[in-house]
A and B are shown apart, each in its own frame.
Chain A
Amino acid sequence: MKHQHKQECQELLGSISDYVDGALQEDLCRELERHLAGCEDCRVVVDTLKKTIELYHREAAQDVPADVRQRLFKRLDLDDLLHPAR
């Protein structure tokens, strides 16, 4: 029984990435959710995968340092169009 269970986990593994994007087909989504309700290991994989993406996405808030921006405008001969940082 246990082996069969693991095989099901492995088969559903490929759908998890689409699932966390909310892009999984409805029937596959239902199948996966049914599996997740009874499989602690896969639930952990889904939750930690979501958390992984969330932690990295937070880094999108990082802006260009002012000196880097200044050198960029200079390199592009656009110094005269350098407005103060937003």
Chain B
Amino acid sequence: MMVENIPVEISIKALKAGDRAEFARLVDLASAPIYRLGLKMLGHPQDAEDVLQNTFLKAFQSLPNFEGRSTPLTWLYRIAVNEALMLIRRRRPQVEIAEESQDESDGLPAPVQLTDWCCLPESDFLSAEARQALDAAILALPEKLRATFVLRDIEGLSIHDTSDAFGLSKTAVKTRLFRARFRLREQLSTYFGDRLEEERAK
């Protein structure tokens, strides 16, 4: 998992003392996960780059306030998630209201798609078209569910670190997570179910 690549020996003391080399080390270590978060949240390389730059600029500015209660990476994730959500809201203010209500609604809908597509050949999972289907499905999620899924399931953060990054309870994170997972499963089942039918028709 990527998180394990972030060593604990980043010195918060050095960061806070304005040690540029230490900050550069943090940038090098954390830029890939932050960039991926931007890509998955916004779907465009340019937006991902904006999230990346803004995250580190804000981190640098707010270093004096960083208390070190979470790891530097979790702290960066928190800034990056806020940056991504702000960019999304700025662009689509009208969508936000509808998504909020879906996001918080109770009860998990029963699974609709019950095709077992796990047995598809590996090439079907690796195609450019499959990647597009994966990207489209994640972009169709309400953004808070999307952010939770990215941190926990793509980047592999623990439930504890994910809840830390959002300032949410573990229960709230788990709720968002299973909603995100089930929605994605439905969408991928539609796409890969079609591939399965094609395979069988061959």
Contacts and interface: CB of A to CB of B under 8 A. Distances in A.
Interface of A: 6, 9-10, 13-14, 16-18, 21, 23, 41, 44-45, 47-49, 51-53, 55-57, 59-60, 62-65, 68-69, 71-73, 75-76, 78, 81-83, 86
Nearest to A63: B32
Contacts of A82: 24
A75 B113 CA distance: 47
B156 A57 contact: yes
B128 interface: no
B19 to A, nearest CB: 11
Contacts of B189: 48
B52 A55 contact: no
A53 B189 CA distance: 13
A-B pairs, top 5 by smallest CB distance, nearest first, are: A17-B178, A81-B24, A44-B116, A52-B185, A64-B35
Contact of A14 (B2, B36, B178): B178
Interface in B1-53: 1-2, 20-21, 23-24, 27-28, 31-33, 35-36, 39-40, 45, 49, 52-53
Contact of B24 (A49, A73, A86): A73
5 contacts: A14-B108, A14-B178, A51-B118, A72-B53, A78-B24
Contacts of A44: 114-116
A64 B31 contact: yes
A8 to B, nearest CB: 12
Contacts, number: 113
A49 B52 CA distance: 30
Name, among A47, A52, A57, A59, the residue most crowded by chain B CB atoms within 10 Å (CB to CB): A52
B154 A83 contact: no
B185 A76 contact: no
A62 B111 contact: no
Contact of A48 (B23, B27, B110, B118): B118
Given A17-B174, A57-B156, A81-B24, A75 B188 contact: no
Nearest to B108: A13
Interface string B116-140: 1110000001000000001000100
A41 to B, nearest CB: 5
B98 interface: no
A78 B23 contact: yes
Contacts of A21: 159
